[in-house]
Amino acid sequence: MTEPAPAVDLAGLTKTFGPVTAVDGLDLRIAPGEVVAFLGPNGAGKTTTVDMLLGLARPDAGTVRLFGGEPADAVRLGRVAAVMQTGGLLKDLTVAETVRMTAHFYGHTRPVAEVLERAGIAGIADRAV
């Protein structure tokens, strides 16, 4: 029987910002279904590592593999998602536009009108968030 690919496989992961090394040669392997906590003091490189895991930042060295593939593929296929520590709704968009934009982040979604109706917010679809 073939072993499944690791959910997360980081090898020699390095990221610098000018003279600051945020992540320095990180090796990490997490099996599918394994639950881990990513802890450390401010400035330890946790957010930078998660950004590279999600394909939001490119490593200066090393590799990132999620479920045997590229981070962008895992995100596109819905194999991984994250709630970022900062952010919010875009104030220039309506409720419907926000739902439509969010749906584009996922491979298989329900129609926007159906989602608005099922959530009970169809009546405010044209309202700015």
pLDDT of 88: 74
| Residues 114-127: tens digit of each pLDDT | 999 999 999 999 99
| Residues 46-100: tens digit of each pLDDT | 999 999 999 989 999 999 999 999 999 998 888 887 777 777 777 788 999 999 9
Return all residues near 59 (Cβ < 8 A) that are at least 6 apart.
13, 14, 15, 23, 52
CA atoms of 7 and 69, how far apart (whole Å): 10
Domains of the chain and CATH, by start: 8-76 (3.40.50.300), 95-124 (no CATH)
Q: Which of 10-24, 33-47, 77-91, 111-125 has the lowest mean pLDDT?
A: 77-91
**Phi and psi (nearest 5°) for 23?**
-135, 130
| 85/5: higher pLDDT | 5
